[in-house]
Amino acid sequence: MSDTTKFVLSEKQIPDAWTNVVPYLPTPPPPPLHPGTHQPLGPQDLAPIFPMALIEQEVSTQPEIDIPGEVLDIYRLWRPTPLFRARRLEQALGTPAHIYYKYEGVSPAGSRKPNTAVPQAYYNKKAGMRRISTETGAGQWGSALALACRLFGLDCTVYMVKVSYQQKPYRRSLMRAWGAEVYASPSEHTQAGHKMLAADPDSAGSLGMAISEAVEDAATHADTNYSLGSVLNHVLLHQSVIGIEAQKQMALTGERPEVVIGCFGGGSNFGGIALPYAIETLKGGPKTRLLAVEPLACPSLTKGVYAYDFGDTAQMTPLLRMYTLGHDFMPPGIHAGGLRYHGAAPLLSHMLAEGLIEARAVPQVPVFEAAVLFARCEGILPAPEAAHAIRAAIDEALAAREEGRARTILFCLSGHGHFDLGSYDTFFDGKLLDYEHPAEAIARAMQTLPRV
Amino acid sequence: MSDTTKFVLSEKQIPDAWTNVVPYLPTPPPPPLHPGTHQPLGPQDLAPIFPMALIEQEVSTQPEIDIPGEVLDIYRLWRPTPLFRARRLEQALGTPAHIYYKYEGVSPAGSRKPNTAVPQAYYNKKAGMRRISTETGAGQWGSALALACRLFGLDCTVYMVKVSYQQKPYRRSLMRAWGAEVYASPSEHTQAGHKMLAADPDSAGSLGMAISEAVEDAATHADTNYSLGSVLNHVLLHQSVIGIEAQKQMALTGERPEVVIGCFGGGSNFGGIALPYAIETLKGGPKTRLLAVEPLACPSLTKGVYAYDFGDTAQMTPLLRMYTLGHDFMPPGIHAGGLRYHGAAPLLSHMLAEGLIEARAVPQVPVFEAAVLFARCEGILPAPEAAHAIRAAIDEALAAREEGRARTILFCLSGHGHFDLGSYDTFFDGKLLDYEHPAEAIARAMQTLPRV
């Protein structure tokens, strides 16, 4: 028996279509609302900032959407990604469970974000755009979009949350290497940023603020569109390549997962690995537990309310019905920057409300403990975001040991941790804090929910 | 025609044996000499710091050496690595040349170093060792060995050149994540370090000094061996997996390379991609140009002398006949830390002296220009070391354009640059210096060559 077991697909097995869970849902997800009229949003409302091809995908009820050849050409740089069985981790845990993971850190950006950055850049290029604006927190999304824009000859402007801009200069350098223009947000480049700076010149910024700036930039320049790295339906759609490939690879193992696990920030990583399994179940196939794992410090799914809220701080976005902590909620500075979002993908929020998926919140010290155990067993150093999924996978495997019953676990290892070594140092130095979900801050932010 | 072209092998096509150029050479390479007696070294001279299996490989004249199953099990974590055709780069250069690259940055350490770290850890474990000591400059080798030791349950002690320890804390964190003990060298943990600190308490350290410390640590502890990441024959042997795979992948392209290019520090990267091609030629096959690319700031192959010299500063190692700048040579602080070594692999030095390989030195600003062009065309951000090979590949492609003649170029992209973003910033800020080879420093250091 081989110790390391890797399940690889041939290049021809890269999916040629994305799969869409929407047509299989028992009830349709509530529509986004216009922030002014509170009426369901029409395609024309989104046209100032998105190309029509992506708007069509956003509202599509087609079960499959073909992946353009130009996108596949770039996917081939790192896809198909490998699926591994974590045998050494299983041994270390003494569990009868079988643990599999799909590894998305092999892309040039080190994470699964290019899966959607590439088609978004492609459709914008095709629509005649010259430039894309976006926001980024820790920098994973900004760097993925910078890469994708460069490959299609588009300019890219990234509003990077100021505290990350200052504390994580290396992600900024990566965007720079791929030719993007990066501003610390709030900035003087937008009206929204100007206002925020006027109110608080020392503002450290937030993802909600940076979204406001990027949306304004796109809305006020005809040759520029906006791009979002998570939350929206078309982003979840693009990430379905992860789960489709994983299903083919799990077939090679001769097992099927009892539980599929993904970390959860905006939701596109979890959606990517989980939704193809949800479709399988909804089509009458076997039931698979689908487990979203979020940080206890920013517990939208487990402590938020399911309500209409804004996607950004400046209240410029459409209203989305989602699990939210309130658009004013400011999560503590946890080390999984990609999971610090007050809301959650509307599609996945709907599925959670319908009982089609599960959610769990975990504190960050046990997350880093899981990350280090994983790195020492399996070799790959995970991004702190991805380590949330590892924590839950380990807990599932330990439960299997308690029960004395085998089970098959699959999780998405969404990115490597080579950009996150400062956070590992904080952990090794014993300085990592375990934030409880900040109940009072949530209660305060909840009062800002719009009345719909 | 697909824009991105990736040539992948199945897991079964990972080589099951390393190939050894030594039996095919017209004349044998000069032996290493005992530093005291100046007599050829016997296996027993190396036994205090290396396991017998590696000593046998060091002096082997077998054409092939089987790769143990336990090593293959770990190779499978990232091998076979992909080979790409750089079509976008070709288009950007307007060249009729076809440029292929073998990408070794997909390993958990982000470079090709684990190809030898894993078998070295394996043979030491099998020989009953509890611990391995080593040195590291920028940290690539130290992190690869930390990973390999962890996977075989060995302790690992790394002496890291002090200036890197202070300036590149993230590589240190990576070693820490994999459980290694890391000391800034010179340290008080060894006699050699103590002496150096006594002479200069503010010493920034050097690779030569760190080697002295690591060798002493191993020589003075019965349960500890020493491990070197380049230069020696057994290291070059292990890296042959790169070239063997590349040959299989080039066969899939239907082309054969006219020139094979690798960056050159100690020589194991260049040897890895080039020596399987040298064997092909020496066995009577077609001739392939084999081009080693070194930094102009540390030009052992192009400006050094071919002479017996020490591998380290403290003159503890055997004498190796090699192209050397003198063991006292202190290269300027260039950003390709992995290429700052005063010497060169004896085996490759011999082949250069015999006219079997070529060498070229390049300045670092054009190297970073090549790196950024490559990143913007091909997506992958290269390590500065690997960018030396890119520079030469681009220059070969531009020469092809001048001549109006197609040619096929293959180079090894030995690692990603996710740990090197500070260096990219220095480049973007216009602060990168182009060191000439420092002729006077070389002349001074040359005077320290031992008389043999």
Nearest chain A residue (CA) to B110: A418
> Chain B within 8 Å of A252 (Cβ-Cβ)?
no
Q: Is A415 within 8 Å of A386 (Cβ atoms)?
A: yes
Chain A neighbors of B2, CB-CB under 8 A: 73, 76
CA end-to-end span of chain A, whole Å? 59
Place of tokens 């600003």: B365
Burial class (CB in 10 A: 0-12, 13-18, 19+), B305: middle
pLDDT in tens, A99-115: 999 999 999 999 999 99
> In one letter, which amino acid is A59?
V
Q: Is A109 within 8 Å of A193 (Cβ atoms)?
A: no
Whether A435 shows a pLDDT value over 80: the answer reads no
Q: Is B96 within 8 Å of B406 (Cβ atoms)?
A: yes
Mutate to test the interface with B, among A88, A164, A374, A376 (most CBs of B within 10 A): A376
Mean pLDDT (chain B, rounded): 94
pLDDT in tens, A189-226: 999 999 999 999 999 888 888 999 999 999 999 999 99
Closest partner residue to A375 (CB to CB) among B2, B10, B178 is B178
For residues B215 and B49, what is the distance between their CA atoms, to the nearest angstrom? Answer: 7
Burial class (CB in 10 A: 0-12, 13-18, 19+), A334: buried
* Cβ pair B11:A10 closer than 8 A: no
Mean pLDDT of B23-31: 97
Closest partner residue to A4 (CB to CB) among B77, B421, B424 is B77
Distance from CA of B225 to the nearest CA of A (A): 21
For residues B156 and A33, what is the distance between their CA atoms, to the nearest angstrom? Answer: 58
Q: Assign B120 to helix, strand or coil.
A: helix
Q: In the prediction, which pLDDT does A336 show?
A: 85
User: Does the ipTM exceed 0.90?
Assistant: yes
pLDDT in tens, A332-353: 878 888 888 899 999 999 999 9
Q: Which of residues 79-138 of B touch A (CB under 8 A)?
A: 84, 88, 106, 108, 110
Encoding tokens for residue B329?
């040579």
Nearest chain B residue (CA) to A425: B173
* Cβ pair B421:A8 closer than 8 A: no
Q: Is A113 within 8 Å of A149 (Cβ atoms)?
A: no
* Cβ pair B170:A3 closer than 8 A: no
* Cβ pair B108:A379 closer than 8 A: yes
Q: What is the DSSP code string of A122-190?
A: HHHHHTT-SEEEEEESSSHHHHHHHHHHHHTT-EEEEEEEHHHHHH-HHHHHHHHHTT-EEEEES-TTS
pLDDT in tens, B117-126: 999 999 999 9
Burial class (CB in 10 A: 0-12, 13-18, 19+), A329: buried
Q: In the prediction, which pLDDT does B427 show?
A: 94
Sign of torsion over alpha carbons A392, A393, A397, A398: negative
Q: In the prediction, which pLDDT does A1 show?
A: 39
Radius of gyration of chain A (CA): 20
Q: Which of residues 360-399 of B touch A (CB under 8 A)?
A: 372, 375-376, 378-381
* Cβ pair A421:B177 closer than 8 A: yes
Strand ranges (E), B49-136: 64-66, 83-85, 98-103, 131-136
Band of pLDDT at residue B1, cut at 50, 70 and 90: very low
For residues B49 and B52, what is the distance between their CA atoms, to the nearest angstrom? Answer: 10
Of residues A92, A101, A97, A86, the one with CA closest to residue A399: A97
Mean pLDDT of A239-258: 97
How large a percentage of chain A has pLDDT more than 70? 99
Query: Is the backbone of residue B244 left (phi > 0), alpha (psi -120 to 50) or beta?
Result: alpha
> Chain A within 8 Å of B11 (Cβ-Cβ)?
yes
Q: Is B384 within 8 Å of B368 (Cβ atoms)?
A: yes
Chain A neighbors of B113, CB-CB under 8 A: none
Nearest chain B residue (CA) to A377: B151
Long-range contacts of B254-258 (CB under 8 A, 24+ apart): B255/B98, B255/B100, B255/B408, B256/B286, B256/B288, B256/B408, B257/B100, B257/B288, B257/B408, B257/B409, B257/B410, B258/B288, B258/B289, B258/B407, B258/B408, B258/B409
For A263, B3, B81, B261, B270, the CA distances from B6, given in Å and listed in that order, are: 30, 10, 10, 19, 22
* Cβ pair A379:B84 closer than 8 A: no
Closest partner residue to B151 (CB to CB) among A10, A173, A379 is A379
For A234, residues 6+ apart whose C-beta sits below 8 A from its C-beta are: A54, A57, A58, A116, A120
For A11, A282, B57, the CA distances from A277, given in Å and listed in that order, are: 22, 9, 50
For A271, residues 6+ apart whose C-beta sits below 8 A from its C-beta are: A236, A239, A240, A262, A345, A347, A348
> Chain B within 8 Å of A178 (Cβ-Cβ)?
yes
pLDDT in tens, B322-332: 999 999 898 88
Q: In the prediction, which pLDDT does B4 show?
A: 55
Q: In the prediction, which pLDDT does A209 show?
A: 87
pLDDT in tens, A116-135: 999 999 999 999 999 999 99
> Chain A within 8 Å of B252 (Cβ-Cβ)?
no
Of residues B257, B91, B249, the one with CA closest to residue A11: B249
Whether B3 shows a pLDDT value over 70: the answer reads no
Q: Assign A18 to helix, strand or coil.
A: strand
Closest partner residue to A76 (CB to CB) among B6, B147, B177 is B6
Place of tokens 């700031």: B297
Of residues A346, A342, A359, the one with CA closest to residue A444: A342
Mean pLDDT (chain A, rounded): 94
Chain B neighbors of A177, CB-CB under 8 A: 372, 375-376, 381, 417, 421, 424, 428
Chain-centroid distance of CA A46 in Å reads: 21
Q: Which residues pair with B261 in a beta bridge?
A: B291, B411
Distance from CA of A247 to the nearest CA of B (A): 19
Q: In the prediction, which pLDDT does A434 show?
A: 81
Encoding tokens for residue B180?
């290694």
Burial class (CB in 10 A: 0-12, 13-18, 19+), B222: exposed
Band of pLDDT at residue A414, cut at 50, 70 and 90: very high
Chain A neighbors of B178, CB-CB under 8 A: 375-376, 381
For residues A162 and A182, what is the distance between their CA atoms, to the nearest angstrom? Answer: 11
Distance from CA of B16 to the nearest CA of A (A): 14
pLDDT in tens, B376-413: 999 999 999 999 999 999 999 999 999 999 999 999 99
Q: In the prediction, which pLDDT does A441 show?
A: 84
Encoding tokens for residue B406?
């197609």
Band of pLDDT at residue B166, cut at 50, 70 and 90: confident
> Chain A within 8 Å of B418 (Cβ-Cβ)?
yes
